[in-house]
Structure 1
Amino acid sequence: MERLALRSRLRPGCERVYDEVHASVPAELEAAMREHGVRSWRIWRDGLDLFHVVEVDDYAAFQAAMKGHPADRAWQVRMNRLLDGDFDKDTGGLKLVWEMQ
Structure 2
Amino acid sequence: MDRIALHTRLAPGKEEDYDRIHAVIPADLDAALRAAGVHTWRIWRDGRELFHVVECEDYRAMRAALRDHPANVPWQARMAELLEVEDDYSGEDDGLRHVWELPAEPPA
Q: What range is the shorter-chain TM-score in?
A: over 0.9
Structure 2: state its 5+ residue gaps.
none
TM alignment of 1:1-101, pairs within 5 A: 1-87=1-87, 90=91, 91-100=93-102, 101=104
Residue 86 (structure 1) shift: 4.0
Equivalents in 2 of 1:52, 1:24: separation in Å? 16
TM-score of the superposition, structure 2-length normalised?
0.88
Residue 21 (structure 1) shift: 0.1
The question of whether the paired residues in 1 share the 8 Å contact of 2:80 and 2:87 is answered with no
The question of whether the paired residues in 2 share the 8 Å contact of 1:9 and 1:83 is answered with yes
Select the structure of larger CA radius of gyration: 2
How many pairs does the alignment contain?
101
Letter in 2 for 1:96: H
Equivalents in 2 of 1:37, 1:29: separation in Å? 13
Q: Which has the higher helix share?
A: 1
Runs of 4+ in 1 over 6 A off after TM superposition: none
Letter in 2 for 1:93: G
TM-score of the superposition, structure 1-length normalised?
0.94
Secondary structure of residue in 1 paired with 2:76: helix
The question of whether the paired residues in 2 share the 8 Å contact of 1:29 and 1:72 is answered with yes
Equivalents in 2 of 1:36, 1:52: separation in Å? 17
Equivalents in 2 of 1:88, 1:8: separation in Å? 13
Residue 75 (structure 1) shift: 0.2
The question of whether the paired residues in 1 share the 8 Å contact of 2:6 and 2:96 is answered with yes
Secondary structure of residue in 1 paired with 2:43: strand
Equivalents in 2 of 1:54, 1:2: separation in Å? 8
Residue 87 (structure 1) shift: 4.1
